[in-house]
Amino acid sequence: MRKVSSYLPLFLGAVMTVANHAPAAEKYVVGVSNTLVGNGWREEMVCSIKAEALASGKVSKIILANRNGGPSEQIADLRNLISAGVNIIIVNPSDRKALDPVIKQATDRKIVVVAVDQAVDAPSAYVVTNDQTAYGRLGAEALFKKLGGKGNVAEMRGIDGVPADADRHEGFTEALKSYPDIKVVASVFTGWSPDKGAQETKNLLSSGKQIDGIWTSGIDKAVVDAYKTANAKYVPIVGADNNGFMGQEIDMKDSLVGINVTNPPAVGGAGLSIALDVLAGKKVPRVTHLTPKVYDSTTAEGQEWLKSLYDANVDPNYPVYSPVDPYTHYTVEQEKACKGPGE
């Protein structure tokens, strides 16, 4: 699996030849801002943007600002992308409100800004996300039903303060309202890090608390691994469409109850596709939500879905590769290659 490379021009003060609104015959320069490095989902999100850029034939170059950081670092990266003369910025935002002023600076210069995966409040930005509130609600509802409407559950969240985590927690909380006999005995942040998720699971197992089910914000395989290491009996676990977790559900179908809520990283490629439509003069809604689907590994349908997408050759911490119709136009092979124009 090829890892996403990071680069940003060092000499951004030079005169750029690319105008913010290139004529139709010319190709566009795309800036990408990501502030979570080493996370399989984010790596694949960037790969989907590269694949869509290549498949579109309308992009000459991608400038990738890729590092771990928060709003202040991301604001600096976005300013650099603006100075670099990009036509489009695809941003996975680290904060819902803090980026609004720099997004306005970009759109005032006729740069099309699309926030993917997580929403921003900036009215001039386009937003393309997997419906994160629905992600939290649908997974929680499936877990609570699996437990017969009663029991103790743990909520394993993502990164404190980021929009996707807040939205998923909101959905989880909404689901709880209909299940008064479900008790949340632990709520922890994992930082969407497998190591942190494994440690938090170990802490739960050693706490002595009765845990009947675990809802995760995508740190699913790490939870299963921690249970296996502790030689503990598996409880129903809610996860995402992550390759390693899906492999576990196939291999341990008789002992592991898994619930998958789809959250395709191809939302990045979908965001670029929508940005290109905007530059082509097409009418595009400001907000586009991709509705999650839910699969139960104990059903024939669930096992069929798992086997249709699981790939033993893909990093276990990566999501499965699944383009998003009708928004993306690349092949799975192009996404796996993770090469943009000129690479």
Q: What is the mean pLDDT of residues 105-133?
A: 96
**pLDDT above 70 covers what percent of the chain?**
93
Local confidence band at 78 (pLDDT 50, 70, 90 cut-offs): very high
Cα 215 to Cα 257: distance, rounded to the nearest angstrom: 12
| Per-residue pLDDT tens digits for 264-310 | 999 999 999 999 999 999 999 999 999 899 999 999 999 999 999 99
| Model-wide pTM > 0.85 | no
8 Å CB contact between 65 and 32: yes
- Short-list 179, 215, 181, CA closest to 200: 215
Q: In this predicted model, what pLDDT tens digit does every residue of 319-329 receive, in sequence order?
A: 999 889 899 99
- CB contact at 8 A, 132 and 109: no
Burial label, 22 (beta-carbon count in 10 A; 0-12, 13-18, 19+)? middle
Write the pLDDT tens digit of every residue in 205-257: 999 999 999 999 999 999 999 999 999 999 999 999 999 999 999 999 999 99
Whole-number percent of the chain with pLDDT over 90: 87
- Give the sheet arrangement for strand 28-34, strand by strand: 59-66, 28-34, 88-91, 112-116, 126-130, 287-290
Per-residue pLDDT band at 317 (split at 50, 70, 90): confident
Residue-averaged pLDDT of the chain:
92
Give the C-alpha separation, 333 to 321, whole Å.
9
Domains and CATH numbers, the chain: 28-130+264-291+323-337 (3.40.50.2300), 132-261 (3.40.50.2300)
| 3 state DSSP class of 118 | coil
CA-based radius of gyration for the chain? 20
Q: Residue 12 has what pLDDT? A: 40
Please determine, for residue 8, whether its predicted confidence score (pLDDT) is greater than 60. Answer: no
Mean pLDDT of 128-137: 95
